[in-house]
Structure formats: structure tokens, C-alpha cells
Amino acid sequence: MHISGGALPRPAETRIMVVANQKGGVGKTTTTVNLAASLALHGARVLVIDLDPQGNASTALGIDHHAEVPSIYDVLVESKPLADVVQPVRDVEGLFCAPATIDLAGAEIELVSVVARESRLQRAISSYEQPLDYVLIDCPPSLGLLTVNALVAGAEVVIPIQCEYYALEGLGQLLRNVELVRGHLNPRLHVSTILLTMYDGRTRLASQVAEEVRSHFGNEVLRTNIPRSVRISEAPSYGQTVLTYDPGSSGSLSYLEAAREIALRGAIPQQEQHNPEGAQ
């Protein structure tokens, strides 16, 4: 499947993006798989790493993830090469997935005694030899060792925030953890993207929440909001992203636009490096 509108600029180096929010039900997995599919449909090579033991990202991408399937658990706990567990996504060219199985639920306990346990994922990604434009890591809804592994491996944090009451509740803890990881383990880590999800333009509450998030986070917030959409909710039960399930739907078009924003933002720093401010 291809989309119109042409390819987007490719990043100068692989962008490793951690999709995190310890609050459940904010559209984290939905955002991970639909942004990944959107970027791939724009011509990028994208790997989704499913770090949630529930394996919802694997399901949404149509990837088999029963207990016997080689998975990200084997990478983290058994030191299996990442390339041995990555599978291509059937419907979208250029999109790949490292699936999660239920074994991952025990990984946090098994990793406790492992040397350099926080950087297992980072080492696995660095030794992956296939060229990639983006790696998107779908985190579990907690701030345990799996999420810490993601934050140590990534450079950018993407936070989906649903446009509902208490949207910003609990976010302070995530931001503190990002600061801790940046201070002690990964100085490149920063929050690059806030995405407003489940936006219902008919309600006053949604626009109030959007306004509050924008006043808190400013430029990190994407202009594109993801609407509340039946199509987005239905797609995973068919083992698909909304991009292949209903390409013309408002949800699909919104994720394509959000991916375009992310790709163009990523291209800006490289341009600035070549043309420093003030240069003629």
C-alpha cells in the first residue's frame, strides 16, 4: 500500500522514539503503531519494539506473539540478537516489529540481578545492522525496568495525552523519571513530542484540555490532534493499523499528518546544523 503526497525527508541518523505514559488508556499503543505505519507509508524504514507484556502493538500489526515466538524477552533476558526476533509487517512495506510475549511479564524480576540491566535494550538496538530511519518503542503503562530500558535506549520521548479530565495527572512522575534517566544514564534523552489523542471537537472539555497542554508544553505539542474514532478502535481487532483498515478515515488522515509533522521537525535540527543562525 502506498499513499499520495510523496516521501518525507529521512532523518540524518536513526531516530529512536520512546512512546510513554504510565497512565493507561491514553492511546499509547495506538499511537505507536499508527505513527509507525504512517512513517513507513511515507517511505521510511521503521521498527516497532513492543515492550508491553500484553503485546497489543504486536496484535495491531498482525504479528504472531504466542509464547513460543522469539520475542523481545529473548533479547533482554537471553541476549538473543534483535535481528533474530524482528518480523516484517505484512500489510506495510518498510515496517517491522519485535514482538512481545507474555514471558516479558517476568522480565523485570529476571533482570534485577543482571549486570547493566538498564541498558540491555540500548545495546541490542546498537548492534542491529539493518538500516532504519525510526525505532518506536511501545512501553508498558508503568515506570519499571522495561520503561527504564526504553528511556536509556531512546533519544526522544513521545507522550500521548488524552483530551479528558485528569489528562495531566501523573505526568509529573514520568517527566521526573525522564530527568533522572537523562541525568544518570542517557544525556541525549528529551521530550520531543506531545500528541493530543481522543480529541472530540464538539466538547468544551477537549478544547480546554488542549489549551492547558499547549500552555504547559508549548512547541513540543503537535498541531495535529488525533480524533476520538471508532475506526481507530476497531482496527487492532483485525490485526491492522487504521492506515490499512480504513485509509480514508479521519483517524488515518490525522496519524498521517502527525507523522508528517514529526518527520519535518526531525529534519529541522540537521538543517540548522548546516546553516547556523545568523549565517547568510
Whether residue 273 lies inside any domain: the answer is: no
Q: Could you tell me the CATH number of the domain that includes residue 128? A: 3.40.50.300
pLDDT tens for each residue of 251-264? 999 999 999 999 99
Range of the domain at 254: 15-264
Whether residue 229 lies inside any domain: the answer is: yes
Tell me which residue of 28, 237, 136 sits closest to 245, measured CA to CA.
237
Q: Are the CB atoms for 46 and 34 separated by under 8 Å?
A: no
> How many domains, in total, are found in the chain?
1
Q: List the pLDDT tens digit at each of the 280 positions of the chain.
A: 444 456 788 999 999 999 999 887 788 999 999 999 999 999 999 999 999 999 999 999 999 898 889 999 999 999 999 999 999 999 899 999 999 999 999 998 999 888 889 999 999 999 999 999 999 999 998 888 999 999 999 999 999 999 888 888 878 889 999 999 999 999 999 999 999 999 998 899 999 999 999 998 999 999 999 999 999 999 999 999 999 999 999 999 999 999 999 999 876 443 343 333 333 3
Dihedral, 14, 197, 250, 263 alpha carbons, nearest 10? -20
Q: For residues 109 and 9, what is the distance between their CA atoms, to the nearest angstrom? A: 41
Whether residue 10 lies inside any domain: the answer is: no
Whether residue 269 lies inside any domain: the answer is: no
DSSP string, 138-174: E--SS-SHHHHHHHHH-SEEEEEEESSTTTTTTHHHH
